[in-house]
Amino acid sequence: MKNKLTSGIATVAALAAALFLLQAPADSQAPAGKAAPGDAAKAPGKGGAKGKGKARPTGPTPRTADGKVDFSGIWNGGGPVGDVAQGLIPGEEISLTPWGKKIMDSRLSKDDPEANCLPTGIPRIAPYPWRVVQTATHIFYLFEGNIHSFRQIFIDGRKHQADPDPTWYGDSIGSWDGDTLVVDTIGFNDKFWFDFRGHPHSEQLHTIERIARPDLGTLDIETQIIDPVAYTKPFKIKFQATLRPGEELMEYICQENQQDASHLQGPAGPP
């Protein structure tokens, strides 16, 4: 009797676990326009928002005094977490070069920079809130996680640095295409991964992000990935961030008590 019960529990647990793994990606992974069970538009309060059940905020697109779209606010999501391919725009595909495939196939989960409390780079986003601070000349992303860090985008008309040092967030310059901010970034290091699966890139990575705020509560981020060393052709992905009104960033010092990396097993992979 006890054995049967134990067996039944194990079976049920396995089924539940399978269901658990098969769930659609959560909000921060959700490609734009594809609502997932955890999409903040449906259940924003479950993880972090104050007050469960709040819908995605609605309203007109905010604008600065000079009429530009104002991206300011606390956001959640907007980039890949588990698998960059989840954001592929229809018709786009990820095609690794032999170099890129070799790198990706060799990656182990324990070596994921994010698991080791290093920055996400671009286009990856950590599953924590982040704030946009916008001035007439700069846009800053303030990240609660994966490390307490920031990204800066120059919108003052400057050009790229002539020979930028390789960095985690690169050298970003933004220009306006109507209501869309086009952010061109070069000067990346090759250390970060695009996702838990370990999609790679080289120092030749060049990203072009088209960022739009079609309404108060939505930030659409379309990113073209260009890296002829790692990918045989460019590809475009699109993710959506959700406004988190009333939220504030909190301190998150990832390195404080990081115990995970030493327990991660096997190849880079599942979310």
Which residues ranging from 67 to 86 are in contact with other proteins (CB under 8 A)?
76-77, 81-82
Q: Per the omega criterion (within 30 degrees of 0), is the bond before 98 cis?
A: no
Minimum distance, C-beta of residue 135 to other proteins, in the bound complex (Å): 27
Query: Which of 106/258 has CB closer to other proteins?
Result: 258
Q: Which of 32, 43, 139, 221 touches other proteins (CB under 8 A)?
A: 43
Query: Which of 16/136 has CB closer to other proteins?
Result: 16
Minimum distance, C-beta of residue 167 to other proteins, in the bound complex (Å): 20
- Name the segment binding other proteins (CB under 8 A); options: 120-128, 134-142, 211-219, 222-230: 120-128
173 CA to centre of own chain: 19
H helix or E strand, kind and range, residue 14: helix 2-22
Partners of 141 in beta bridges: 132, 151
Three-state DSSP class for residue 159:
coil
Q: What tokens were used for 37?
A: 């069970």
Instruction: Say whether residue 51 binds other proteins (CB under 8 A).
Output: no
The DSSP line for 160-175 is PPSSPPPBSS-EEEEE
Single-letter amino acid, residue 183: V
Contact 191, 118 (CB under 8 A): yes
- Name the segment binding other proteins (CB under 8 A); options: 22-30, 86-94, 152-160, 167-175: 22-30
Outline where 63-178 has alpha helix (H).
98-106
Which 222-251 positions form the footprint of other proteins (CB under 8 A)?
242, 247, 250-251
Which 127-186 positions form the footprint of other proteins (CB under 8 A)?
127-129, 144-146
Query: Which of 79/170 has CB closer to other proteins?
Result: 79
Q: Mask of contacts with other proteins, 179-218, x by CB under 8 A?
A: -----------------x----------------------
How far apart CA 59 and CA 51 sit, in angstroms, is 19
Query: Which of 129/174 has CB closer to other proteins?
Result: 129
Contact 109, 52 (CB under 8 A): no
Instruction: Say whether residue 39 binds other proteins (CB under 8 A).
Output: yes
Q: Give burial (CB, 10 Å; 0-12/13-18/19+) of 203.
A: middle
How far apart CA 174 and CA 158 sit, in angstroms, is 9
How far apart CA 95 and CA 235 sit, in angstroms, is 8
Q: Which of 89, 117, 208, 226 touches other proteins (CB under 8 A)?
A: 117
Instruction: Say whether residue 94 binds other proteins (CB under 8 A).
Output: no
Query: Phi and psi of 219, rounded to 5°?
Result: -120, 115
Instruction: Say whether residue 12 binds other proteins (CB under 8 A).
Output: yes
Instruction: Say whether residue 55 binds other proteins (CB under 8 A).
Output: no
Q: Which of 3, 21, 33, 159 touches other proteins (CB under 8 A)?
A: 21
- Name the segment binding other proteins (CB under 8 A); options: 34-42, 158-166, 203-211, 223-231: 34-42
Q: Which of 34, 35, 47, 216 touches other proteins (CB under 8 A)?
A: 47
Contact 144, 138 (CB under 8 A): no
